[in-house]
Structure formats: C-alpha cells, structure tokens
Amino acid sequence: MASGNKMFDLTGKVALVTGGASGLGLGIAKAFVQNGAKVLVGSRTIDKVEGAVKELQALGGDESAGGVALDVTNDASAERAVRKAIDLYGRLDILVNSAGVMLRKPTFELKGEDFNRVYDTHVTGSLRCAQAAGHIFREQHSGCIINLASISTFVDLIEVAAYAAAKNAILGLTRSLANEWAKHGIRTNAIAPGFIPTDLNRKMIENTDRGRRILEHTPMGRFGKAEEIAGGAVFLASPAAGFINGHTLVIDGGYLASGIGDSFAPWATPEK
C-alpha cells in the first residue's frame, strides 16, 4: 500500500534491487513495495530469490515483485536483469546496488585475488549495473541510483581491508556518477549503514568482542535494523529527495558522532 504522503510515495515506480534476496537489500525491497513501487530482486542464489519474491508479494500482491538470477560480476547478467525489469513492468526508475560479499582476513595474508573478488562485487559490480540501468534512465531522462556504502567508508575496522577499500571506492563512484549523469536526469546517492546484523557480518558482530566494542561507541547502544536503512532508501528514491544528488546518507545510530566519552553499551557502568 502506498504512503499517504505523496512526497514519499513510490506508486508507479519500478526498482531493481541487486542483492535483494536477503539482508539490507531485501529490507529495502520490502519498504519499496510498502510505499507503492514494483520491485525486481536479483541475486546469484535463485532459491533465495524465489523466497524473497514470495515475501514481497505477500506485502504488495502478485504484481508487486519479481525475481531474476543476477551475478553483478558479469556484464551480460547485469544487462539481462535490467532488460527483465523492462519486460515485466515496461519501465525502470530506481536501481539499488546492494549486492556484496564480506571477507575477514589479516591484511598480511590478503591475496590479490581476494581483494579483487571483493572489489569486483562491490565497486565494479555497482558500475556494471549502473551502466546497464543508466542507458534506460538516460533515454527517459529520469532515474535514481542508490549505492550501498558502509560505516567502513569513513572509519577503519581491522582485518577487512578489501571490504573497506571497496566501500571507500563506492563513495567516489557515487560522486562521479552524480556529477556526470545529472544532466541526463539521473540522481545518484549512497547510503552508509552502521552496524546491522545480516548474513554477511552476523558472526563478526553478534556476541563477539568486536560487537561489544561497537556498541560501546554507538550512542543509541544497539545495532540497527534493516528497515531503518530501508527508510533512508525510500527517502532517497522519493520526490522528497528530488534535489539530493551525490550525497552519502549515514544511518549509524550516532557511531560516527561518538568520540571519547561514556560507553553507551547496555552493560556499561556509569562513570562516578
């Protein structure tokens, strides 16, 4: 059902969400459907795609969602996904680049092929999909691209050098596309989520020392939720964000604002 506030209404819009079968991508896809959009979710794992489509159709009806096998590291696959959106719905208005992989490894042990695999998925994969969708957006002189950056775009976390470098590059890619493609009616922005437990990072941050330290420096004292990231995506895709271009929206519970001060973790003992 579409939102009553037309500023945030996505009725009539069609979105392609890469990595949309799980995690943040699925959360964003759900929010789009709930605000009136039709959504095509893409993932390499077709079983997950089928499950995600059922969840989305339960929210918005049979016509609200479709799925596609999508490998963002393959040019032809990206182009097929865009073409399927056009074939299913007759248009494409929004691209969300949410596909990602995580690799935790000491940087002394990081191999070039490890680095390149992570980079190819996050950065070159986002470029591939942006180019495929961008041809459609340019023809219709309208379109919205939302890239998924990360808290690692701004601060370092040990032993995830490939991921952090890729997410830094997403910031540059977002600004470059925003600068170059605005003349074609295309807005490009990014979201930098804070720490949201998903299949990519759950083992790293839930019930771990790293997770404890994260919470100690998060003023809201908790991890985020996928739907809280999805709200930012709905905003950036909506008419309310019509003059926002080249921006990276940080949604992190205050993590970046936290300097040296109190511990915000639920178990912290207040300073006397």
| Residues assigned a catalytic role | 163
Q: What is the DSSP string of the chain?
A: ---SSGGG--TT-EEEEETTTSHHHHHHHHHHHHTT-EEEEEES-HHHHHHHHHHHHHHH-GGGEEEEE--TT-HHHHHHHHHHHHHHHS---EEEE---------GGG--HHHHHHHHIIIIIHHHHHHHHHHHHHHHHT-EEEEEE--GGGTS--TT-HHHHHHHHHHHHHHHHHHHHHGGGTEEEEEEEE-----TTTHHHHTTSHHHHHHHHT-TT-S---HHHHHHHHHHHHSGGGTT--S-EEEESTTGGG--SS---STTPPPP-
d(CA 227, CA 162): 27
Paired tokens of 208: 């771990």
